């Protein structure tokens, strides 16, 4: 009998090429996704050093951070952002790397399309020069974000030098309440363990609430692991995931599919395997969450109020809270539901998949944005946009007063911003200072909560919203 192992350990061990005496490990990388934001300098370095690509077919490039989402089809507007998109395309052509063009029907946010295309599969190690690569953990893969120096290593060698992480089990058992989204689950977790709670750990989400979650919801959860400090947020592959992957463009076929599935079924953490830390959360304790500050750990349930910085015992936390409230223009004690918003942003690699758009559309159908609120819906991929249009979701949003846009990172990554002072209910992942534009105030929420805030003009409890209506 081999000793019981975690999902993380199983994947790590099958990819271990060499372990050095200093504790560093050379890891085989199966898949690498590139975007235009962080890869340019890596290609420059390869060129300067005269290096070539070790395994071309393991890479897939797509532009997402800089793409305009207001119009698609015409020439790119002049400017540095467009230059980055074109430079990515030139780099991929020069180095022979597979690339989804900006105008392709397969374009989308890299962490949305990598699973959508079946590019990343259970048991793989997948990396990308973006911290939200943690999303790929929902594929039962070991996915993590890397820097530009590491992008260069992956391009030139197909490997990375890494050190094993500690492991953390986040066990969520029970049944999530009505109206509770995976976004609320991850924000609640960050509220419990803090924005640095997962630093140095690879998280594995486990428990009956995770098993019951759709694959798209699991991606929301894994995605924001990095906001809890963890580079990695994995979920064991199960029959639901295998069904979800079947038939996608890049998944194996025939006998290879059967072989893969048989292997995937061996991946879940063995009974008796141990974790360095275990965090247990009752699903029933999770209410809709709203962030009030400038770190994702600045979060409370929708029924609560903005905390008083003086209520934090730790002086650095108190100072951070005071700074956050000054930036956010909020007074301690203000009920969350009394905070009026100017804009709704439904998008990002966290919450712009079809189920997210459906959840938001169900809230706004037959209603209209409050008169002082603007709304933007930015689908996570061009395919999601098309699928949503086939269901008529575009009409629902447009009739409610939203702009229906093309796929890209948009108002999450800072490529598209709001005027100073705008207060946004956002389904994205970061409420950092100036993240959505200079002096813009971000509140992170689920898609349904964002949509409801847009209709009401202020935050509302989605569990009470529209009660009595069909």
Partner 1 sequence: MSEPLTIVEGIAAPLPLKNVDTDIIWPGLPGLSLRRGDQARNAFARLRFDPEGAERPDFILNQLPWREAKILVAGSNFGCGSSREMAVWGLVEWGMRCVIAPSFGDIFFNNACLNGLLPVILPENAVEAILATITDPERSVLKVDLVAMRVTGSGFNLPFMLDEHRRRCLLHGLNETGATLQQIETVRSFGKSYADRFPWTRIEGEKIA
Among positions 181-210, residues that touch partner 1 (CB under 8 A) are 195-196, 199-200
* Between 145 and 179, CB nearer to partner 1: 145
Residues 6+ apart with CB under 8 A from 150: 127, 129, 160
Among positions 210-229, residues that touch partner 1 (CB under 8 A) are 226, 229
| Cβ neighbours of 276 (radius 10 Å) | 13
Q: Which of 9, 26, 212, 242 binds partner 1 (CB under 8 A)?
A: 26
* Between 2 and 316, CB nearer to partner 1: 316
Distance of CA 226 to the CA centre of its chain: 9
Among positions 246-265, residues that touch partner 1 (CB under 8 A) are 249-250, 252, 256-257, 259-260, 263
Number of residues near partner 1 (by CB under 8 A)? 87
* Between 258 and 285, CB nearer to partner 1: 258
Q: Which of 4, 79, 366, 421 binds partner 1 (CB under 8 A)?
A: 79
In angstroms, give the least distance from the CB of 345 to partner 1.
16
**CB-count burial class (<10 Å; 0-12, 13-18, 19+) for 258:** exposed
E strands, 46-114, are: 59-62, 99-100
x-marked contacts with partner 1 along 319-338 as a string, rule CB under 8 A? xx--x---------------
> CB-hemisphere CA count at 13 Å for 263?
16
Under rule CB under 8 A, residue 168 binds partner 1: no
* Between 101 and 457, CB nearer to partner 1: 101
Under rule CB under 8 A, residue 84 binds partner 1: yes
In angstroms, give the least distance from the CB of 458 to partner 1.
26
Among positions 107-136, residues that touch partner 1 (CB under 8 A) are 119, 121, 123-124, 129-131
Candidates 150, 309, 122, 98; CA nearest to 222 is 122
Among positions 354-373, residues that touch partner 1 (CB under 8 A) are none
Rounded Cα–Cα distance for residues 460 and 467 (Å): 12
* Between 72 and 106, CB nearer to partner 1: 106
CA distances to 83, 146, 410, 416, 462 from 67, rounded to whole Å, are 10, 21, 7, 9, 32
Under rule CB under 8 A, residue 41 binds partner 1: yes
In angstroms, give the least distance from the CB of 279 to partner 1.
17
Q: Which of 4, 13, 24, 278 binds partner 1 (CB under 8 A)?
A: 24
Under rule CB under 8 A, residue 164 binds partner 1: no
In angstroms, give the least distance from the CB of 94 to partner 1.
15
Under rule CB under 8 A, residue 419 binds partner 1: no
Among positions 285-314, residues that touch partner 1 (CB under 8 A) are 295, 297
Rounded Cα–Cα distance for residues 279 and 114 (Å): 29
Residues 6+ apart with CB under 8 A from 47: none
Rounded Cα–Cα distance for residues 295 and 227 (Å): 8
Q: Given CA atoms 233, 235, 240, 242 in this order, what sign does their dihedral have?
A: positive
Rounded Cα–Cα distance for residues 212 and 89 (Å): 40
Candidates 402, 350, 405, 398; CA nearest to 373 is 402
**Cα angle: 32, vertex 60, 200; to 5 degrees:** 25
Q: Which of 64, 238, 342, 433 binds partner 1 (CB under 8 A)?
A: 433
Q: Which of 9, 86, 161, 305 binds partner 1 (CB under 8 A)?
A: 161
* Between 335 and 419, CB nearer to partner 1: 419
DSSP string, 373-393: -EEEE--SBHHHHHHHHHTTH
In angstroms, give the least distance from the CB of 288 to partner 1.
23
CB contact at 8 A, 330 and 359: no
* Between 293 and 454, CB nearer to partner 1: 293
* Between 312 and 368, CB nearer to partner 1: 312
In angstroms, give the least distance from the CB of 41 to partner 1.
6
Under rule CB under 8 A, residue 20 binds partner 1: yes
């Amino acid at each position: 009998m081999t000793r019981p192992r975690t999902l993380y350990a199983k994947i790590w061990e099958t990819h271990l090429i060499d372990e050095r005496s200093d504790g560093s490990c050379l890891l085989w990388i199966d898949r690498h996704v590139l975007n235009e934001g962080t890869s340019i300098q890596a290609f420059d370095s390869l060129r300067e050093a005269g290096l070539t690509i070790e395994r071309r077919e393991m890479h897939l490039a797509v532009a997402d951070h800089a793409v305009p989402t207001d119009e698609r089809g015409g020439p790119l507007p002049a400017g540095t952002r467009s230059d980055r998109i074109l430079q990515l395309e030139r780099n991929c052509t020069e180095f022979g790397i597979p690339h989804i063009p900006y105008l392709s029907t397969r374009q989308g946010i890299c962490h949305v399309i990598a699973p959508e295309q079946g590019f990343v599969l259970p048991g793989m190690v997948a990396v990308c020069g973006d911290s939200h690569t943690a999303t790929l953990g929902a594929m039962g893969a070991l996915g993590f974000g890397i820097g530009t120096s590491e992008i260069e290593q992956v391009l030139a060698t197909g490997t990375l030098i890494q050190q094993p992480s500690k492991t953390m089990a986040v066990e969520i058992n029970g049944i999530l309440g009505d109206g509770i989204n995976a976004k609320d689950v991850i924000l609640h977790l960050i509220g419990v363990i803090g924005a640095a709670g997962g630093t140095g750990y690879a998280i594995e989400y486990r428990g009956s609430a995770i098993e019951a979650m759709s694959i798209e919801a699991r991606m929301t959860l894994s995605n924001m692991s990095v906001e809890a400090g963890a580079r990695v947020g994995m979920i064991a592959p199960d029959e639901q995931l295998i069904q979800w992957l079947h038939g996608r463009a890049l998944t194996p076929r025939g006998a290879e599919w059967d072989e893969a599935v048989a292997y995937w079924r061996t991946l879940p953490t063995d009974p008796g395997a141990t974790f360095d830390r275990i965090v247990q959360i009752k699903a029933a304790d999770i209410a809709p969450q709203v962030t009030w500050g400038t770190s994702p750990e600045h979060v409370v349930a929708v029924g609560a109020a903005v905390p008083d910085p003086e209520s934090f015992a730790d002086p650095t936390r108190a100072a951070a809270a005071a700074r956050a409230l000054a930036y956010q223009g909020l007074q301690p004690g203000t009920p969350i539901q009394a905070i009026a918003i100017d804009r709704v942003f439904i998008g990002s690699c966290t919450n712009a998949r079809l189920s997210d758009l459906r959840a938001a559309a169900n809230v706004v159908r037959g209603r209209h944005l409050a008169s002082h609120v603007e709304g933007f819906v930015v689908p996570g991929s061009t395919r999601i946009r098309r699928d949503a249009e086939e269901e008529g979701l575009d009409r629902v949003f447009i009739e409610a007063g939203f702009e229906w846009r093309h796929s890209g990172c948009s108002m999450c990554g800072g490529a598209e911003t709001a005027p100073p002072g705008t207060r946004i209910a956002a389904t994205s992942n970061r409420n950092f200072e100036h993240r959505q534009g200079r002096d813009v105030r971000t509140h992170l929420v689920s898609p349904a909560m964002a949509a409801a805030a847009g209709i009401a003009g202020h935050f509302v409890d989605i569990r009470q919203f529209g009660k009595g209506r069909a």
